[in-house]
Chain A
Amino acid sequence: MLGRTFWGQTTPWSEMERLRREMNRLFSTFPEMTGSRVAPGYPAMNVWTNEDGVVITAELPGIDPEKLDIAVVENTLTLSGERTPLELAEGDVYHRRERGYGKFTRSFQLPFNVEANNVQAVYEKGVLRITLPRAEADKPRKIVVKAA
């Protein structure tokens, strides 16, 4: 009864289900929209995926890229570094201090194993972008059905 088709391939139920999933994804993507703010780790990251890999972007202004440490072990990415405080001379006074500084480490579990040798990281305008290609052995394999 529920599986009855409706103007084509999809049923209204599957459409509703798809919409619900989409909404959930949207709200969980941006926690500030729902108001349930979970303290995020530093740096904040956006994770982009497709069949061939993952791209991770993070806003890290004012970091020395040499001191940025990116390590990949199997499917875990670890990013660590340090934001150094401003060097003030004797007698200088802060009027306002909002920028954070200090050491940070963040680990991220990826949905699949990656080709650790082909990981690329680019740091530009204070934004870090790490491209992690999916391991060849881990890619989904298409199975061809032969006619008997």
Chain B
Amino acid sequence: MANEKELNIQETGKQEIAETRAERTRSRLAFVPRTDIYETNEAIVLVTDMPGVDQSTLDITLENDVLTINGYVEAAYPEGYGLAYGEYRVGDYERSFTLSNKVDRNKIEATVKDGVLRLYLPKAESSMRKIAVTAG
């Protein structure tokens, strides 16, 4: 049984870092954060780059099957200085993923360190069960 292959995580946002959908309550720039997703025997792990975000400015919601990550960044411009040369812009982060129903919703863990969010999504016990086939 190709159990692991059935687990799917699909993105709903754009892959390229760009401004996202128009309907936002905050009139700020928003970016799609770059994300790595990998699967172990026990869990699915999401690792997302969100520089400028810490635990107090991060909002993660799970509604129906959609996991939404929102990171709010307050741009801290150096006081008394003028921008001479710019290569990146500062803005919020927003990205949604569709989770398969094999994730144990109550045991999701999230940690953020150095602007990297790590979401640990354990697989539900039931999906791990193997069915033994006996010779009839």
Contacts and interface: CB of A to CB of B under 8 A. Distances in A.
Contacts, number: 115
B104 to A, nearest CB: 18
Q: How large is the interface on B (under 10, 10 to 19, 20 to 34, 35 or more residues)?
A: 35 or more
Contacts of A105: none
Contacts of A88: 38, 40
A86 interface: yes
A92 B40 contact: yes
Interface stretch (A13-21, A71-79, A94-102): A94-102
B34 interface: yes
Interface string B79-97: 0111111111100000000
Interface in B45-74: 47, 49-54
Interface of A: 29-31, 40, 44-50, 54-55, 57, 59-63, 86, 88-89, 91-100, 111, 123, 125-127, 129, 131
20 contacts: A47-B86, A54-B84, A59-B52, A59-B115, A61-B49, A62-B49, A62-B115, A86-B38, A92-B38, A93-B39, A95-B39, A96-B36, A97-B36, A98-B34, A98-B36, A99-B34, A99-B49, A125-B51, A126-B115, A129-B78
